[in-house]
């Protein structure tokens, strides 16, 4: 299994995925995703660590190269967890539309999202 979400792609594919989004910096303590809210965005972490929490309990920590927020978009569901920045974050913000477009344009992107979702459900 690749170490991070981005490890699944060629440099050209990483550039395409990055170009589909907007680069952001968020402070420590910020929550870009809240449990039980609509799935309108996903983030790829470029630097920093986040805590993924369900019902206030931490269920995972993720870092550089990981993606968050994708499962609710792909599954057409409300968010199942809150994401809290443990450190300042550098990330790529992908709108739900950008995620869907990347899935359509890049079968490898869709396969990677499916693999991440499957791994997180285990």
Q: Which CATH number do you get for residue 34? A: 2.60.120.10
Tell me whether residue 15 is in a domain.
yes
- Extended strands (E) in the chain: 22-26, 41-47, 50-54, 57-62, 67-68, 82-85, 89-95
Paired sense of beta strands 89-95 and 41-47, if any: antiparallel
Model pLDDT for residues 36-77, shown as the tens digit of each residue: 999 899 999 999 999 999 999 999 999 999 999 988 888 888
pLDDT computed for residue 2 by the predictor? 61
Residue 55: left (phi > 0), alpha (psi -120 to 50), or beta?
Answer: left
**By residue range, what is the domain housing residue 52?**
6-121
Digit-coded pLDDT (tens) for 79-104: 989 999 999 999 999 999 999 999 99
Q: Is residue 92 part of a domain?
A: yes
Q: Is residue 1 part of a domain?
A: no
Give domain status of residue 27, yes or no: yes
Domain count along the chain = 1
pTM of the model: 0.89
């Amino acid at each position: 299994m690749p170490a991070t979400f981005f490890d699944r792609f060629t440099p050209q594919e990483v550039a395409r995925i990055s170009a589909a989004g907007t680069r952001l910096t968020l402070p420590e303590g910020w929550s870009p995703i809240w449990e039980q809210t609509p799935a309108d965005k996903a983030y790829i972490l470029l630097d920093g660590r986040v805590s993924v929490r369900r019902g206030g309990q931490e269920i995972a920590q993720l870092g550089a190269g990981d993606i968050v927020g994708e499962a609710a978009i792909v599954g057409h569901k409300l968010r199942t967890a809150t994401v809290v920045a443990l450190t300042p974050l550098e990330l790529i913000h992908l709108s739900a539309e950008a995620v869907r477009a990347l899935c359509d344009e890049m079968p490898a992107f869709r396969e990677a999202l499916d693999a991440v979702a499957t791994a997180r459900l285990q």
